[in-house]
Amino acid sequence: MTAAALSALWSYWRRNPIQLFTLVAGLALATALWSGVQALNAQARASYDAAAAVLGEGRFDQLVPRVGETIPQETWLALRRAGWQAGPVLEGSLRAGQSRVRLVGIDPLTAPGSAGPVTQAGEAPLQAFLSDDVIFAHPEIAEALAATLPQTVVEDPGLAPGTALTDIGVAQRVLDRPGELSRLILEETQPRGRPPLDRVAPGLVERPSQQTSDIGQLTDSFHLNLTAFGLLSFAVGIFIVHGAIGLAFEQRRAMLRTLRTLGLPLRRLMVLMGLELAAIALVAGTIGVALGYVLAASLLPDVAATLEGLYGAQVSGALRLHPAWWLSGLGIALLGTALAASGAFWRIARMPVLASGGARAWAVAAGRRRGVQAAAALLLMLAAPALLAVGEGLILGFASLACLLIGAALLLPSLLDLALAAGERLARGVRPAWFWADTRQQLPGLSLALMALLLAMAANVGVSTMVSSFRLTFEGFLDQRLTAELYASTDGSAQAAALQDLAAARGAKVLPILSIESRLADRQVEIRGLRVGPSYTETWAFLARDGDVWDRVAAGEAVIVNEQLARRADLWPGDRLTLAPDHRLPIAGVVGDYGNPNGQVVTGEDLFRDLFPEVRATRFGLRSDDPEQLRQALVGDAGLDPGQIVDQSSLKSFSMGVFERTFTVTAALNVLTLAVAGFAILMSLLTLAGMRVPQLAPAWALGLTRGELGRLELMRAGVLAALTLVAALPLGLALAWMLLAVINVEAFGWRLPMFLFPDDYARLGALALAAAVAAAVWPALRLARTPPSALLKVFANEA
């Protein structure tokens, strides 16, 4: 009996290969997008962990210079002699062939605890470290490094990508920085009675191990973004699967009824169907995981570029995956199938043995469910703003987004039904009336595909609005901020003085870049001192201001904060900020500071020099009418290396390049989501086509040709897609608003103004419409070529 039942169940898929293909493909696509995104996230996280392990950043507090990037070795020794248990780190970058290598030097004897992986066990790393001039390097750069340096280079996959680790003595020689250190890593336990830091090393500041600008936390928002996209794609895929399974179950009602009446117990029937679905899910999951791997591998270079450009986080370009990842991919396929099939199973479990089967019954039932669905949709759409009102946070923001999107998707069938009913009322003549009524009739079978189209289209509108708004704002911001024609960095006060003299002699205006790291309002912030002048007063746009900002800042009576700090510490114009024990100044303005993850406070130059007399500017902006001549003079007369000078336009194009790569991944996922929606429409139409012959046969018998029927099919797909697009536009704009005003603020600390791009929407709409019509072409052609005998058979059956 079991074998017979199995063979009966399987025969259905043999007779309906398109449905089987839909099921497998939908599931595989959902699994692929989900597991691809997970692979990207896992790869990036592994890279951060490796980096944090090398540098001890995750676990240990550090001492960093208040000014500049160098700590004299003597300062470290003075700290050691005073009892401070700190290990020195020297970091620098060097070119090896085509790649940029970050060389990290440590002293293994004083490095705290497990500050870094050195090499695989079995070798003698300490000997190598201390006396053999060995550099351990990530495999991707090892060869290039070996070709550049005389030292022995040993591959170590445990290191972060782009990173090489060596003894501090070797690092000082290779980087040509004798007696210099970058920072000190503090041991977790320190001895009793050591003197305070400012007495031994006043030039250093303690940086706690866990802080807000930590790479992991910063990049979390990016990964959450990716995860949200992965989930969205998964949801769209599961819509398809749900549709396919639901249809298959309904069409098999007659067979199930027969099997039951032949004596197959309900429990065994359910188990058999469960096993059948599980087998399909495993096959589809395997395909999906493989596709996911391809997807992740092809997107990884862009993700790596984004993370490096936006956060300075290095991510390996070679995909390495843990076996657990493959298993979790299969797991998600099974879980998705279970989710999609639960409703169908529930109905079979309660199905009366003698209930009638057939597609029409399914459609009618779908119509009955529509009311419940619409109510749920309204509830979800109400929950979206309610969630935002309740609290803050990225997770809540995404939850609210999810409510909005799912609510809108659930509401779509009811809205379309209303629109089609209106069309029906307005229709004149028999044929249009039949067209509208028949379209309405088909709605239940197509609604899942249309919901997928709605989500994909809204996501495209929303995300493209966000990216384009961001791009406009960012370009404007760069124009505001990059006012100097040249930017030069000097290697010390002598060169800085030469630069200033030379610039003054040539009538160029010098804008010193004064900056110090500090902790204000319990946050790591950068304090900058500006020489207030037209370069700033005429260009900076304030998001909020109080009085004449620049006069007050120039007089040292007020400060400006960036939006990130204002939002995180809730500091706005009028509030006061303590810069130093006796300097508690009001905030005069808040400026946008896009692309910078950290808080910033801006003071006038005089106040800055009073507060931090030890800071000397080493970087300068230079305003000149003839920047090219000034550049040549700086290189020729002031002794600057050409690499120390960068001009405005290359700085701008570099920044924009970073920006564009940031959203490459988003755009790629967007296109994929749309493609999945198109596929859903194609599959739904193909499935429906077979069932619709009995409904079309009377229309044919009444005089409509098969060609006309096919054209009407195409038109129907176009009308439904167009109606869906009309609904998708406001949904996409709502999504864009939430991304700009909620998600961005939570993730990055800045809110962006929203711009509208009607041309883009029109192009997108045309594309989506074309995709829907294209998806309908094949089913329509099939219909147009249905042999008259097949249509005649309908009546034969009735007779």
Based on CB atoms, which residue is closest to other proteins, 134 or 669?
Answer: 134
The residue among 124 and 279 lying less far from other proteins, judged by its C-beta, is: 124
Least Å distance, CB 143 to other proteins, is: 23
Rounded to an integer, what distance in angstroms lies between the CA atom of residue 250 and that of residue 248?
5
Shortest distance in whole angstroms from residue 80 CB to other proteins: 5
Decide whether 191 or 391 has the Cβ nearer to other proteins: 191
- Cβ distance to other proteins smaller for residue 132 or 417: 132
Give 111 or 638: the residue with its C-beta nearer to other proteins.
Answer: 111
Are the C-beta atoms of 527 and 551 separated by less than 8 Å? no
In sequence order, the 6+-apart residues with CB closer than 8 A to the CB of 551 are none
Comparison of 129 and 474: residue with beta carbon closer to other proteins = 129
In terms of CB distance, is 157 or 358 closer to other proteins? 157
Contact between 711 and 431 under an 8 Å Cβ cutoff? The reply is no
Kindly state the smallest distance separating residue 89's Cβ from other proteins, in Å.
Answer: 13
State in angstroms the smallest separation of the CB of 491 from other proteins: 22
- Best CA proximity match to 719, nearest among 426, 513, 522: 426
Residue 733, C-beta contacts closer than 8 angstroms, at least 6 positions apart: 461, 462, 465, 756
CA 260, 263, 267 angle in degrees (round to 5)?
A: 65
Smallest gap from residue 73 Cβ to other proteins (A): 7
Which residues contribute to the site for other proteins (CB under 8 A)?
A: 73, 77, 80-83, 85, 106-111, 113-127, 129-131, 167-170, 172, 178, 189-194
Structure token digits, residue 733:
């704009």
Question: How far apart are CB 154 and other proteins at their closest, in Å?
Answer: 12
Shortest distance (Å) from residue 492 CB to other proteins: 22
Nearer Cβ to other proteins, position 135 or 745?
A: 135
Residue burial 118-144, b: 16+ Cβ < 10 Å; e: rest: bbeeeeebeebbeeebbbbbbebbbeb
Query: Considering the complex, what minimum distance in angstroms separates the CB of residue 211 from other proteins?
Result: 24
d(CA 100, CA 141): 9
- Of 183 and 223, nearer to other proteins (C-beta) is 183
Residue 549's contacts (CB-CB under 8 Å, 6 or more residues apart) are 542, 558, 560, 588, 589
* Pairing status of strand 183-186 against strand 62-65: antiparallel
Minimum distance from CB of 84 to other proteins (Å)?
8
One-character DSSP codes across 709-775: HHHHHHHHHHHHHHHHHHHHHHHHHHHHHHIIIIIHHHHHS--------HHHHHHHHHHHHHHHHHH
* H or E, element range at 185: strand 183-186
Phi, psi torsion values for 202, nearest 5 degrees: -65, -20
Cβ-based nearer residue to other proteins, 167 or 485: 167
Q: How far is the CB of 66 from other proteins (least distance, A)?
A: 24
CA distances to 262, 272, 605 from 266, rounded to whole Å, are 11, 10, 83
